Amino acid sequence: MHIPSDSGLGGAGGNIDAQALFRQASADGRDALNTTELAALLAALGLALDESGKAAAAVELSISLSRTREFGMVISAGVGGLDRQVDGANFRMDRYAVHAATALTDADDFLRLFQRTLAYRKLAASAQAEGRALPDAVLKACFERLIALGNDDGHAGLVLSGLDLDPVHLGEGLTVRAARCSFGPAAETRLARPVHKIDKLLHPNSIGIIGVSASGMNFGRIILRNLMGSGYPKERLTILRPGETEIDGVKCIEGLKALDGKLDLLIVAVAASAVYDLVDEIITTGAVHSVMLIPGDLGETKRSKEPAAALAGRINAAHASEDGGPIFLGANCLGIVSHPGGYDSWFIPLERLPKTQKKAERNSVLISQSGAFMISRLSRNAWLDPRYMVALGNQTDLTHGDVLSYFAERPEIETIGIYLEGFKDLDGLDFVKAVRRAVLNGKEVVIYKSGRAAPGMAGVMGHTASIAGDPALFSSVVRQAGAIVTEDLDSFDDLFYMAGVLHRKTIGGNRLGAISGAGFEAVGMADATEGETFTMQMGALSDETVKRIGEILVAKKLDALVEVRNPIDINPGADDEAHLQVTEAFAQDPNIDAVVVGLDPTAPSVAALEESKLRPGFDINSPKSTVQLMPPVVARTEKPIVAVVDGGPLYDAMAARLKDQGVCVVKNCVSGTRALVRYVEARTEAARIRSRGR
């Protein structure tokens, strides 16, 4: 682990072998460097160590490298000194500290992140007040050396565990007032899973099931009915059940050894106690490419942790075989819905969750550690309509990183929604690398992670045997990779849906146009343009657009009531046609990059009812209704248009008909605009990542 010299920073500089320092300290029975060793390490990094206790500087920083369980080495920087003792939750996002996996960042990229923090803003303000240059060059050189140190695995038994520098003062160079460096043995890693076999899992030419009752409606029987009900051919199904010849018209065989050939997929729906021996048989016979483990209680309870860990070890060892061995999805797994694979293996009866096609082309996938999460999301919003829905369960074998790696390379997938509770060791690093590949391949990744507070973290451990890490670090690292990280279920729904509808629209900038016949909506949209880390501005309408809208208002006899501006309140007297004409005028303005329009369904001039008794024919079926007029406007407009239908159940039909025709519809002007702001930020960041090519 040689650190090169010529840092351009203050301090001695020079070459040093960090491994030699670690070995020296280890020989003395220590797992941390002493002051002399620290000074040598920091000097090689171009940093001066001064623990003399001199007066604190006006601005104190903290900079660190930490080897995390999930993401491997992470670089962090933010407020230091006494400010670091304040709970980071009291700061807005990215103001307290920023984090990135060293494997996915470089000095320029991390400096850009650090510039969001309060610490950098104080440094910049101090430099400006004193007439000095901004400290960017000094900070960049420091980050470059730290990232190089973090990415060096040492090729030996001892690796850096953590390097914490706090406080750090900026003068001619960077001076560290207090530091700690720890080291330890390199962590063991699991064998690589044969990710290509996920194709067998999703598109099986043959499916076997163990655990189907011949007389009752157990989980196995429900799965069998769902497989057939979703159109999977009976002749490609096999039930493994001794003593039976057929169940529901599907042939039965005695067991794995009676198979004619190798199964693409085996669904295991037996009691957890029977799984251990069965998995050994699956591995030994080599009769299966992929396995779906439905049972729970495999690592979720204290008594099952040790046997479940031993089971995972045996599965992992099987991946050393020539063909990589079978892959396992689950356990505690709801299953898969694969529309291209023509099957539904969920144990939820089809009558409880109809999965009708809502998109002309299914372009998304939903990956979830919790099956119930997918059920509730789809039940609430059928327009999410994923191409695949995959329940991971407790990740006995296949992990978030594995499944996302597979879908990151699938050209037909444009958006990926993910619910996760925690990672297996170092799978977070594989996961963020897969996020980055997905973004580079033109996809959007929307994530909701549970376990954000202490009670939630405890609940995660009891659900799918996961460990929930620090939520602020998770959010920062995963956003830096290019994902959209949502803070609650509603924002996940909005953003996953929005990403699917607007994926092919052009994001040309951050200038918003806002329209409504309800004044509170127009103002609410404008108020919602400021996010925690990104802001859209209200675009200045061109003279040509002002003139065009003025002519529309004159034609609609609204000119005496409405002032042309952005945001614009076009008055409750505006009819459907006025809404759409003004919307298209905004969308065609070169100073506007996206439009949010309140469709005002409760206004008497808008044909928003499914059927009007007061005015027969004045409803959503009228050729002059928004339902008929808006889809062509959206289709011929390259810019994103978001429609707000804020009303009760009377207007559900209006919203549904618009959604059916590809219009992006939200129910609330504020949450919808906030979602659009987050989406535009993500698309802008994705474009930046793709321009860098990494």
Same structural domain, 128 and 171: yes
d(CA 580, CA 303): 62
- Residue 615 is given by DSSP the state S
- Strand ranges (DSSP E) for 363-459? 364-368, 388-391, 415-420, 444-449
DSSP 3-state assignment of 533? coil
Residue positions counted in the chain: 694
CA distances (Å), 433 to each of 98, 187, 481, 549, in order?
A: 18, 19, 7, 47
pLDDT in the model for residue 56: 64
Distance (Å) of CA 649 to CA 127, 356, 385, 646, 652: 57, 21, 22, 10, 5
Q: What are phi and psi of 161, to 5 degrees?
A: -95, -40
Q: What does the block give as tokens for 177?
A: 């007032």
The alpha carbon of residue 479 and the mean position of all alpha carbons in its chain are separated, in whole angstroms, by: 8
- Among 157, 185, 213, the domain boundary falls at 185
Q: Looking at the domain assignment, is residue 232 inside a domain?
A: yes
Please give the Cα distance from 469 to 477 (Å, whole number): 12
The pair of three-digit structure tokens given for residue 179, joined into one six-digit string: 């530091």
Number of separate domains in the chain: 4
CB-based contact 642:664 (threshold 8 Å): yes
Element (H, E) at 60: none
Q: How far apart are CA 314 and CA 326, in angstroms?
A: 11
- Whether 343 is covered by a domain: the verdict is no
Domain boundary at 185, 208, 223, which?
Answer: 185
Q: The domain spanning residue 322 has which CATH number?
A: 3.40.50.720
Same domain for 208 and 177, yes or no, is no
Same domain, 487 and 514: no
Q: Would you say residue 595 lies in a domain?
A: yes
Gap between the Cα atoms of 195 and 405, Å rounded: 8
Task: Give the pLDDT score at 16.
Answer: 67
Q: Is 339 a domain residue?
A: no
Contact by Cβ (8 Å): 220, 213: yes
State the Cα–Cα distance between residues 96 and 473, nearest whole angstrom: 11
Q: How far apart are the first and last CA of the chain?
A: 25
Q: For strands 288-293 and 263-268, give the pairing.
A: parallel
Residue listed under structure tokens 């620290």: 38
Using the 8-state DSSP alphabet, how is residue 104 labeled? G
Cβ-contact 129, 122 below 8 angstroms: no
Same domain, 481 and 520: no
Determine, yes or no, domain membership for 608.
yes
Q: Name every residue whose Cβ is closer than 8 Å to that of residue 577 and which is 6 or more positions away in sequence.
A: 556, 624, 629
- DSSP letter string, 220-266: HHHHHHHHHHTT--GGGEEEE-TT-SEETTEEEESSGGG-SS-EEEE
Q: Which backbone phi and psi does 338 adopt, to 5 degrees?
A: -125, 105
**Cα 512 from Cα 674, distance rounded (Å):** 12
Q: Rounded distance, CA 463 to CA 92, Å?
A: 30
What pLDDT shows up at residue 105? 97
The DSSP code sequence of 164-227 is: EEEEEEESSSEEESSEEEEEEEPPP-PPPP-GGGHHHHHS-S-EEEE---SSS--HHHHHHHHH
Burial bucket for residue 271 (CB in 10 Å: 0-12, 13-18, 19+): exposed
Q: How far apart are CA 551 and CA 25, in angstroms?
A: 80
Say if residue 14 is in the same domain as residue 157.
yes
133 and 241 share one domain: no
Kindly tell me the burial class for residue 505, based on how many C-beta atoms sit within 10 Å of its own C-beta (0-12, 13-18, 19 or more).
middle
For residues 609 and 645, state if they share a domain. Answer: yes
Question: How many other C-beta atoms are found inside a 10 Å radius of the C-beta of residue 173?
Answer: 18
Give the C-alpha distances (Å, rounded to integers) separating 685 from 340, 581, 672. Answer: 31, 32, 20
Domain match, 626 and 611 both: yes
Side-chain-side CA neighbours of residue 20 (13 Å)? 8
Cα 102 to Cα 363: distance, rounded to the nearest angstrom? 32
In a domain, 345, yes or no: no
Contacts of 235 (CB under 8 A, 6+ apart): none
Residues 515 and 416 in one domain: no
CATH number at 424 reads 3.40.50.261
Q: Provide the residue range defining the domain that includes 66.
A: 2-185
User: CA geometry: angle at 554 spanning 553 and 557, to 5°?
Assistant: 85
Task: Report d(CA 226, CA 106) in Å as an integer.
Answer: 49
Quote the strand ranges of 34-149, DSSP E.
Answer: 48-49, 61-68, 72-79, 97-101
Token pair for residue 523?
A: 């103002």
pLDDT of residue 458: 44
Residue 338 inside a domain? The answer is no
Pair 551, 445 in one domain? no
pLDDT averaged over 10-residue windows placed end to end, the chain, 694 residues: 42 63 93 95 92 76 96 96 86 94 97 96 92 93 95 78 95 91 90 96 98 93 94 97 96 95 96 94 96 87 88 96 96 94 90 86 96 93 96 96 98 98 94 98 97 51 49 95 96 97 97 96 95 95 98 96 96 96 98 98 96 94 98 98 96 97 96 97 97 90
CA distance 13 to 45: 6
Give the pLDDT confidence score for residue 117 in this predicted structure: 96
Instruction: Determine, yes or no, domain membership for 25.
Output: yes
233 plus 111 within the same structural domain = no
- Specify the pLDDT at position 453: 56
Please state, in angstroms and rounded to a whole number, the distance separating the CA atoms of residues 559 and 570.
9
Indicate the Cα dihedral angle 566, 572, 577, 578, nearest 10°.
-30
Q: Is 424 helix (H, G, I), strand (E, B) or coil?
A: coil
Q: Which CATH number goes with the domain that contains 65?
A: 3.30.470.20
pLDDT value at position 9?
Answer: 31
Nearest alpha-carbon partner for 630 in 654, 594, 646: 654
Of 465, 482, 503, the one marking the end of a domain is: 503
Same domain, 499 and 509: no
Cα 227–329–464 angle (5° rounding)?
110
d(CA 212, CA 400): 29
Q: pTM score, two decimals?
A: 0.93
> Torsions phi, psi of 74, nearest 5?
-125, 135
